[in-house]
């Protein structure tokens, strides 16, 4: 794997840096082979969306944070891509919310779970974060799902009332909604099954979302649940942005 040589003046600096972070994560055994494909799909949508947090993404982010704040048992889940791109920030958010995080990967292997935990533990030590990491020993199952991706922790995902699941698969998102949870998805594709299934979809890039949430937590912004929020309408606004960018 090559060294990262691009400097910040490069017009595609952020994109190159994210790719580099994923290369490192892959070399540590944190990613399934399909992770790069999922990232590529995200990149394509980010290009179409203008590679910035839209106004409607910020509205969804604020509402998501308000729901997490008001939750009895909030949880943030982290997969390999998310750990590589925003592991530190998501653990900082969990610390502020006083909730655990749970490793939640689609193609579950013990080796990959251990690699992700090792990566996150190193970040915790370096930054003095105390967030609890769940997922090593699943002891519950998400009803309606088959195989290893049904596995979860009773203390974490299973018992949660509000769940932040970045880059989630549509099927599992649907199963979590059926469990009665408020499901918050981060997905750059406003047309994915996850995006359409979720209670709140933040159509934005996960590292930008995590930074925006930290900024909101650190500001004295008064965070209230938006009772008029309609997810489908918010998704349509992202689709409108793509269409407008194409026309301009
Ligand atoms: P569906 O939700 O329709 O089942 P999927 O889950 O099968 O789709 P995947 O390719 O498995 O689709 O999931 C990756 C999803 O995550 C894509 O929709 C992609 O746009 C999104 N994505 C990838 N990287 C990022 C990122 N860095 N930030 C936000 N979203 C991302
Ligand atoms: Mg999906």
Looking at the CA of residue 195, tell me the nearest atom of ligand 1.
2
Q: Can you give the pTM of this predicted structure? A: 0.96
In angstroms, what is the span from residue 166 Cα to ligand 1's centroid? 9
Among protein residues, the one with the nearest Cα to ligand 1's atom 29 is 205
Q: Which two tokens stand for residue 48?
A: 């179409």
Question: Which ligand gives the minimal distance to the CA of 166?
Answer: 1
CA dist., res. 203 & res. 197, Å (int): 13
What CA–CA distance (Å, rounded) separates 58 from 43?
Answer: 19
158, 142 contact by CB (below 8 A): yes
Q: Could you tell me which residues are beta bridge partners of residue 102?
A: 77, 134
Ligand nearest to the CA of residue 190, numbered in listed order: 1
**What is the pLDDT tens value at each position of the chain, 248 positions in all?**
677 788 888 888 899 999 999 999 999 999 999 999 999 999 999 999 999 999 999 999 999 999 999 999 999 999 999 999 999 999 999 999 999 999 988 888 889 999 999 999 999 999 999 999 999 999 999 999 998 889 999 999 999 999 999 988 889 999 999 999 999 999 999 999 999 999 999 999 999 999 999 999 999 777 899 999 999 999 999 999 999 987 66
Question: What protein residues have CB closer than 5 angstroms to ion ligand 2?
Answer: 170, 192, 194
Domains of the chain, first to last: 55-247 (3.40.50.12640)
Residue nearest to atom 22 of ligand 1 (CA): 42
Q: Closest Cα to residue 81, out of 107, 99, 59? A: 107
Instruction: Determine which residue's CA is closest to atom 5 belonging to ligand 1.
Output: 169
245 CA from centroid of ligand 1 (Å): 21
């Amino acid at each position: 794997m090559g060294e990262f040589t691009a400097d910040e003046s490069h017009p595609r600096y952020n994109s190159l840096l994210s790719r580099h972070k994923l290369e490192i994560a892959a070399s540590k055994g944190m990613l399934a082979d399909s992770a790069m494909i999922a990232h590529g799909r995200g990149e394509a949508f980010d290009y179409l969306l203008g590679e910035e947090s839209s106004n409607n993404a910020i509205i969804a982010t604020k509402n998501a944070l308000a729901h997490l704040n008001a939750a009895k048992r909030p949880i943030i889940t982290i997969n390999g891509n998310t750990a590589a791109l925003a592991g530190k920030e998501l653990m900082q958010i969990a610390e502020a919310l006083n909730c655990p995080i749970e490793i939640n990967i689609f193609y579950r292997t013990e080796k990959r779970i251990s690699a992700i935990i090792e990566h996150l533990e190193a970040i915790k030590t370096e930054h003095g974060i105390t967030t609890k990491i769940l997922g090593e020993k699943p002891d519950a199952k998400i009803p309606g799902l088959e195989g290893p991706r049904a596995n979860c922790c009773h203390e974490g995902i299973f018992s949660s009332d509000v769940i932040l699941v970045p880059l989630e698969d549509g099927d599992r998102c649907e199963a979590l909604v059926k469990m009665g949870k408020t499901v918050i998805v981060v997905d750059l594709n406003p047309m994915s099954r996850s995006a359409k299934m979720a209670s709140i979809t933040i159509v934005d890039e996960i590292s930008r979302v995590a930074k925006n949430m930290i900024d909101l937590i650190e500001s004295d912004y008064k965070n209230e649940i938006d009772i008029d929020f309609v997810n489908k309408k918010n998704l349509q606004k992202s689709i409108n942005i793509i269409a407008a960018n194409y026309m301009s």
